[in-house]
Structure 1
């Protein structure tokens, strides 16, 4: 065995943290899908909900970016 158990745990943790990026993509799809469903039901109210759509997408994507940064920190931290 060339590596030690700490390196192995570090890489497993990085892989688990990277799952958050995939979950963020599901969250963005959820936000956009719910907006589209609401806009199709009531097209006159769709224009007023566009800002809420972008805020929801930004928050969901920010969580994905944070998960990606945590995985990078776990992979390359000393």
Structure 2
């Protein structure tokens, strides 16, 4: 197997984590919207936790992209 092909396969495997990130973000925001719809008075507290969850989940996506770029270009 050529080294370039192995790099592309490795980068593709590293990017699989982005599917999990998409599912996680969908769960976070669907739960956020439904909880605010049920109890609008809890919006300030719930919204902050939702944004924290978004930031932590998005960090996983950035790490996955970083690993993929490192595999491809280094």
* TM-score normalised over the length of structure 2: 0.86
Q: Which runs of 5+ in 2 are unaligned?
A: none
CA shift digits 1:35-68 (9 cap, x unpaired): 1111111111122211101100000000001001
- Partner Cα separation in structure 2 for residue 44 and residue 22 of structure 1: 33
How many pairs are equivalent?
Answer: 74
Pair 1:65 & 2:58 matched: no
- Partner Cα separation in structure 2 for residue 64 and residue 26 of structure 1: 12
Higher Cα radius of gyration: 1
Give 1:47's aligned residue: 44
Q: 2:16 pairs with 12, 15, 19, which one?
A: 19
Q: SS of the counterpart of 1:46?
A: helix
Q: Which runs of 5+ in 1 are unaligned?
A: none
